[in-house]
Chain A
Amino acid sequence: MVDENRRNVLKFFIGSSVALSLGALTTPLVGSVINAKALALKGEYSSIEVDLCENVDNCPEEYSVPISELRQGPKFVLLKKGNTAIPAVFGLVKATDGKEYPAAYNTVCTHFGCPVNPQGGKYLTGFGCPCHGSTFLICPDPNGCPENAEECAKNPDQCKRLPFLEARVTGGPAPRPLRPIKVAVKGDRVYAVKAYI
């Protein structure tokens, strides 16, 4: 009698944990089978916006890097706001129009969170993750980069283009582009205004 009771309690706990885990695992699978885009609505809290400063005019110096320093190569800055620390790499991106655009990215890999290494020498061209081998490439075309180059060559009208300066995934297990840090230029410095973590 007592044994039966205990078995029931055990069954309840195990059953509910199995149900919870299976639910957590099957929800995205079913979602991706039915419609991958349907998940986009649910995932809106997958990255969080952090306002470092209201606008570029009242941004403290600690969130900024002089452009002259960026000309030497990408620069790491640990942005701190309250308890939050955001590892940022500032750099100049050489665009296909021949101009240099300052940009900054959160270096936490979108796969499992390892710090990614900037690539490209003097200019910032992309990032590589040392842990599980994800690679990110920054789109250098001001008109946007074709998502699939072959398809875009066939019918340019239906070509889906990724935005300029997005650090898209080109390899490895990362599920999404690197989280960016919104920058603005004031005087001879680049300021980080808004970050995504």
Chain B
Amino acid sequence: MRALVRLWELIVERFHLKEFLEHPVPRYSNLNPLYWLGDVAAMSFFILAITGFALALLYTPGLSLTQTPPDPLMPGQHGEELQGKKVYDATQSYSSVYRITYLTPLGFILRQIHLWAAYMMIFATLAHFFAKFILGSYKRRGGGALWLLGVFLGFLTINQAVLGYILPLHLDGILAIQIGLNLFRYFDYFGIPVGQLVLSVLGSLFVTDQVIKMIYVLHILVVPAIILVLLGLKINGILYGGVSPPPIKDAELRRKAMEEKEPFYPHRFALTVGQLLLQLSVILLLAAMTPLPLLEPWVPGQQVPAGVRPPWPVMWYYTYVKMIDPFISVGLPIFLVLFALVVPLLDRRGGVSIEERWIWVAIAIVYIAIIGYGTVLGFLVDIPKEITPLTRISVPPDYAVPYIGTPQAVGP
């Protein structure tokens, strides 16, 4: 025991951990939940990394045809249709996820933790974004750069979620990859051949083994590595630049609040550990109460049932795609992201308290409302869509008759 204590002391001394452990953290940030959400997202990322490592070892990407027994959790009418059969066709990716979930010890809970942690990370990222918007944390010195980094990290988080959603190659994942491969073709229409670039890198605009391998590598290596580096950069920025100032109007009170500090260890450390444990319990509770099914299998050429819906993080976008013309449905997310990027330049005057910048708080609420309204509406109703002159991007009538030469009749 003495030796262990000595070893710990040695580590603390040699690696200068004392400075880190005793780093002063303002007391108000330990008390205000608006300052905890970033931690939730970061901790979710590490939970995802650990479970993802195990899943990456067990998963095999591939499109080759295999057969799988039905998923007992499968919901809905299509699920019931499949329950009657003993086995059905699926891709290799799908069967390997089935194998992980139902035929590997602890595989079921591993996958559930990974999925629920992913949803939690997205939710925490969004909540963190709005919390910092409302706090006006980009107003402090260095806050603008951290804000930009945060927006970029949020973008990567959504990317990572979509890539992971594709990997099991269930029906919904296939639709996601197809949309992902073809969405960029709108930039071809806009005069910039981005769709061509995607094609030249991946070789196909329909899912193939190569495409799935690329998605796999991006999901398990490239994007997490970028997230990790940027996260380190951001944590370093906060460590030495300080957290956002408290939303207090009175200058004297604000100064007082900022001067009142606590060491990171044990105060904030205890908070973070408690938060992590709470987070893990919530994830386990969610996994127990609502385990996420494998969704429907898919093989190339299979009919896609009508009424498919995307998962909740992109539901709001789906609603606007169906409701508004493609020009705006491609433009709306670009506008929302651009707005998030330029907010630090627009909102510069005044303090950080709610009463001084209520208009920006109102804008933040409208921003939340656009996303929230779309999400709820997407689950509630099917929006009919009419063709109007605005619903089309003018594109070349680049049709061709499906014939070499003149069409030729067969038979009687």
Contacts and interface: CB of A to CB of B under 8 A. Distances in A.
A83 B210 contact: yes
Given A87-B301, A114-B179, A101 B409 contact: yes
B181 interface: yes
A120 interface: no
A171 B190 CA distance: 22
Interface of A: 3, 6-7, 10-11, 14, 17-18, 21, 24-25, 27-29, 31-32, 36-37, 39-48, 55-56, 67, 71, 76-78, 80, 82-87, 92, 95, 99-105, 108-109, 111-115, 117, 128, 130-133, 142, 162-166, 168-169, 171-173, 175-177, 180-185, 193-194, 196-197
B334 A176 contact: no
Given A83-B203, A193-B404, A46 B396 contact: yes
Interface of B: 141, 144-145, 148, 174-175, 178-183, 185, 187-193, 195-196, 199, 202-208, 210, 300-301, 303-308, 321-322, 325-327, 329, 331, 334, 338, 341-342, 344-345, 385, 387, 391-405, 407-412
Given A83-B203, A99-B412, 14 more contacts: A10-B144, A10-B344, A17-B341, A21-B334, A40-B395, A47-B398, A55-B404, A80-B208, A115-B178, A164-B401, A175-B189, A176-B398, A183-B404, A196-B398
Contacts of B305: 130
B394 A28 contact: yes
Given A27-B190, A28-B189, A113-B181, A183 B398 contact: no
Given A108-B182, A132-B321, A46 B300 contact: no
B178 A114 contact: yes
Nearest to B342: A14
B399 A100 contact: no
Contacts of A197: 199, 204-206
A117 B410 contact: no
A47 B408 CA distance: 25
- Mostly, the A contact residues are mixed
24 contacts: A18-B342, A21-B338, A28-B327, A28-B394, A37-B394, A39-B396, A40-B394, A43-B396, A78-B300, A78-B301, A87-B206, A112-B178, A112-B321, A113-B180, A114-B178, A130-B175, A162-B399, A165-B401, A166-B401, A172-B387, A175-B189, A175-B326, A183-B402, A184-B405
Contacts of A162: 399
